[in-house]
Amino acid sequence: MGSAESFDRRLNSQQKGTPMTQAAARMVQLMEQLAPVEGYNLSALDDIRFLRSNRPLTRTPVLYEPGIVILCQGRKRGYLGEDVYVYDAQHYLVVSVPVPFTMETDASEAEPMLAVYMRLDLQLASELMLQVDETLGPSDAQPKGMYASPMDDLLRGSTLRLLDAMSRPGEAQILGPSLIREIYYRILTGEQGGSMRAALSRQGHFGKITRAIRKIHSCYHEHLDVETLAHEANMSIPNFHLHFRSVTDSSPMQYLKSTRLHQARLLMLRNTMSASTAAFSVGYESASQFSREFKRMFGRTPQAEIEWMKATYALPAPVAPSVYVSSH
């Protein structure tokens, strides 16, 4: 079934009284245009990419940089420790600090998974956080590295306006930034917005761990040990271990290894590096150790993984570089 026919069927179903609203149906229609290629599609704005998957994907290791994921169709499930984060047309995902987790996708050729990925502009988000705190008062919520939250009508309307503008290149450049700001505001004042505002304030133990995470992402290719990272966080080693795991569900050295492997994977894909060159570029001293740990994490040898990625979906590099390593 083609995408146009699939959309017509969903729209007709909506008109007969199914739960899909007219706004949700229009979002799907726009996303069909904005994400024509399976994988990540670049947009007129550096921090926005459109994601499409025409097939289900089993649990895969991922590392998201700080950002917002809004699904218009399909479903994703993220697994972090014992927690499961479901994000779909009724729930969006917020990542305030990069955390490695595993993810699976529900999608099909008839009804592809369609999502907006917004890389978080930390300066803009922090400015808005201060304005919201001045109006609503500081949040007493606990900061979270990642959470899924219900999509309300206000956020859905803001997202529809953004997609509509992004479908017109001139409007995307002129109106896009103000619409992104509007979406940030909706999320910061939404059901779990207090947790995001608390995370952005970078206070307390969460803020200290965030500094250590930033150190890992900027210096992953260097020799890093727990003592160095604990010093960066200004914490004792026992306290650092405890609070690092509470934020990332990982030990510091496991997190460092995951960051290196994700970065090496992208270097091999985008820069056509060999496995050994990529291994040494991200801080490994042994190519054989790198290959063993890569296969243990991704389930394939480096060569097989890159061949699978090239055959499965597009993964163009973002136009603007990020201070964080990610899986995409």
What pLDDT does 79 receive?
Answer: 96
Structure tokens belonging to residue 91:
């729930």
Cα–Cα distance between 204 and 206 in angstroms, integer? 5
Report residue 154's pLDDT band, with 50, 70 and 90 as the boundaries: very high
**Residue 195 contacts residue 129 (beta carbons within 8 Å):** no
Our separate counts of H helices and E strands in the chain read: 13, 10
**Mean confidence (pLDDT) of the chain:** 92
Q: What is the largest CA-CA distance in the chain?
A: 62
pLDDT digits (tens, 9 = 90+) for 222-264: 999 999 999 999 999 999 999 999 999 999 999 999 999 999 9
H/E element, 193: helix 193-201
191-200: average pLDDT: 93
266-295: average pLDDT: 96
Structure tokens belonging to residue 263:
């970065």
- How far apart, in Å, are the Cα atoms of 200 and each of 82, 120, 145, 239? 24, 11, 10, 21
- How far apart, in Å, are the Cα atoms of 306 and each of 82, 233, 267, 275, 295? 29, 35, 10, 10, 12
H/E element, 246: helix 237-248
| pTM of structure | 0.90
Given a cut of 60, whether residue 130 has pLDDT beyond it is yes
CA angle 281, 282, 287 (to 5 degrees): 75
Could you tell me which CATH class the domain 216-312 is placed in? mainly alpha
CB atoms within 10 A of CB 199: 28
CATH 2.40.128 assigned to domain 3-201? The reply is no
Q: How many CA atoms lie within 13 A of 115 on its CB side?
A: 28
What pLDDT does 149 receive?
Answer: 96
Cα–Cα distance between 200 and 188 in angstroms, integer? 10
pLDDT digits (tens, 9 = 90+) for 6-56: 545 554 544 444 445 788 999 999 999 999 999 999 999 999 999 999 999
Given a cut of 60, whether residue 78 has pLDDT beyond it is yes
What pLDDT does 12 receive?
Answer: 53
pLDDT digits (tens, 9 = 90+) for 297-327: 999 999 999 999 999 888 888 777 888 999 9
Q: Where are the domains of the chain?
A: 3-201, 216-312
What pLDDT does 140 receive?
Answer: 87
Cα–Cα distance between 114 and 105 in angstroms, integer? 11
Cα–Cα distance between 17 and 231 in angstroms, integer? 59
Report residue 328's pLDDT band, with 50, 70 and 90 as the boundaries: confident
Angle in degrees, 0-180, between the axes of helices 226-233 and 237-248, rounded to the nearest 10? 80
pLDDT digits (tens, 9 = 90+) for 52-69: 999 999 999 999 999 999
Structure tokens belonging to residue 2:
């083609």
Q: How many CA atoms lie within 13 A of 40 on its CB side?
A: 18
H/E element, 280: helix 275-281
**Residue 326 contacts residue 101 (beta carbons within 8 Å):** no
Cα–Cα distance between 70 and 265 in angstroms, integer? 25
